[in-house]
Amino acid sequence: MAPASNPDPAARVLVVEDERALAGMVAAYLFKAGYETTVVHTGPDALAAVREHSPDVVVLDLGLPGLDGIEVCRQIRTFSDCYILVVTARTDEVDRLIGLSVGADDYVTKPFSVRELVARVQAVLRRPRTGSAARAYAHEPVWVFGDLHIDSAGLEVHLAGERVDLTPIQRDLLITLASRPRSAFSRRQLIEEVWGGGWVGDEHLVDSHIAHLRRKLGDDPETARYITTVRGVGYRMGQG
């Protein structure tokens, strides 16, 4: 479906949903909220639409024909840092975490309120692509934690001399933790720093992103070298 254009759209949203009635309803609510909307119904069409329209947000159903939403999300992350809001009818927590592991920013489960979905879109758009910590510490030199080098100005992370490819959220979480080494951050503090104070949703989303960040850093939570779990509080950078 060609994009529905507002005279002065707040942002571009791509709706990827194979249930056509639901897709139309979501698109109508987003258009009413001021967003330019495009609707597609298959995985391959989703990838083509992201390349063609460069959306700010993709509302992505997992159960798609042609190419499932997990693979679509993974491929989008190879060429775009748009926000991805996963929609799933699956209740298994593993499915949610798989979606987040390939770069999704948030998820909602069916059935959902379309108004709530619009609110989630508004919330992710309030989060700048470069988090507040990355901006605040852009003047800092490279932080060094053993073999881990974090360049907040260049937005690059190297481990033992090799570049580590992180999603924007993973990178911003790492910069936030590194900005105050050995200080514990609660989930809420990390959400306010990385997602923004207006974010709504399950705070345990932080745990999923931290888990995937640790995997990319080869950091075993039981013998953490970089990101330590502070039980009853949250996370901190370093062991001391």
Q: Are 176 and 151 in contact (CB under 8 A)?
A: no
* pLDDT, greater one: 99 or 124: 124
Which pTM was predicted? 0.62
Right CATH number for 132-237 from 1.10.10.10, 3.40.630.40, 1.10.150.20, 1.10.3720.10? 1.10.10.10
Peptide bond before residue 111 is cis, with ω within 30 degrees of 0 = yes
Give the confidence band of 140 by pLDDT, cuts at 50, 70, 90.
low
Give the confidence band of 112 by pLDDT, cuts at 50, 70, 90.
confident
User: What CA–CA distance (Å, rounded) separates 15 from 136?
Assistant: 33
* One-letter amino acid of 63: G
* pLDDT, greater one: 15 or 223: 15
Q: What is the edge-to-edge ordering of all strands in the sheet holding 162-163? A: 143-145, 148-151, 156-159, 162-163
Domains of the chain, by residue range, sit at: 12-126, 132-237
Per-residue pLDDT at 130 exceeds 60:
no
Average model confidence (pLDDT) across the chain: 83
Mean pLDDT, residues 168-172? 82
Where b means 16+ CB within 10 Å and e means fewer, 111-125 reads: eeeeeebbebbbbbb
- 12-126 under CATH 3.10.20.30, yes or no: no
Highest mean pLDDT among 27-36, 161-170, 183-192: 27-36
pLDDT for the residue 177: 92
User: What CA–CA distance (Å, rounded) separates 30 from 23?
Assistant: 11
Per-residue pLDDT at 186 exceeds 60:
yes
* One-letter amino acid of 94: V
- For 164, 205, 207, 212, the CA distances from 202, given in Å and listed in that order, are 27, 6, 10, 17
Mean pLDDT, residues 157-164? 91
Give the confidence band of 7 by pLDDT, cuts at 50, 70, 90.
very low
pLDDT digits (tens, 9 = 90+) for 45-68: 999 999 999 899 999 998 899 999
Residue holding tokens 């909220």? Answer: 33
- For 39, 59, 193, the CA distances from 204, given in Å and listed in that order, are 30, 20, 15
Of 11, 18, 212, 208, residue with least CA distance to 110: 18
Mean pLDDT, residues 90-99? 60
User: What CA–CA distance (Å, rounded) separates 209 from 199?
Assistant: 15
